[in-house]
Amino acid sequence: MAGEAQDGNWPLPKFYFSVDWGTMKNIPFQEISGLEIEGQTPEYRHGNSPVFSAVKMPGIVKSNHVTMKKGVFVNDDVFRDWYNRIKMNTIDRQTVVVKLLDESGASTMTWTLANASPTKIIVADLVSNSNEVAVEYVEIFHEGLTIANS
């Protein structure tokens, strides 16, 4: 409400972030989605249980695919070259770090994707009467997400 005293504790905006991908630093991505952790919950009930419901237990953590959207640049074949290096049983895995930044550019939240590798590269639709920027989507898999609040 107007006139209330503010405590200075505001949620961070989501539009200021950076991505480090292996040795490449500060890659200019436009959008990132799929930074989630999901644990499976198996159920168990033994036959002579006096309770007529199953017990839920923590299970294996599932790693979802992460999709990153970026502009298409001239002579920027880094992700396509990386994807083309994938051969049977040979995958070039890298660490991907997504950092949410504050107004000074300092990292406040960090999502670290372990052993990441691309699974799909999609070029957005090309339309002759559009004035939009050409974008590509890079979908990656990973083997674990670590979240740190800096």
Mean pLDDT by 10 residues, the chain (150 residues): 65 90 87 92 90 90 92 83 74 90 92 92 88 91 91
Bridge partners of residue 20, in order along the sequence: 97
Of 137, 102, 133, 110, nearest in space to 123 by CA = 137
Nearest to 37 by CA among 129, 145, 127: 145
Q: Which of 146, 24, 115, 118 is nearest to 76 (CA)?
A: 24
The answer as to whether 89 is a domain residue is: yes
Chain mean position to CA 25: 16
CATH of the domain at 106: 2.30.110.20
3-state secondary structure 15-33: CCEEEEECCEEEECEEEEE
Query: Domain for residue 129, yes or no?
Result: yes
What is the rounded CA–CA span in Å between residue 73 and residue 81? Answer: 14
Asked if residue 143 is part of any domain, the answer here is yes
User: What pTM was computed for the model?
Assistant: 0.80
Residue 4 falls inside a structural domain: no
Residue pair 70/30 in contact (Cβ under 8 Å)? The answer is: yes
The structural domain count of the chain equals: 1
Helix (H, G, I), strand (E, B), or coil: what is residue 105? coil
Residue range of the domain that includes 100: 17-40+55-149
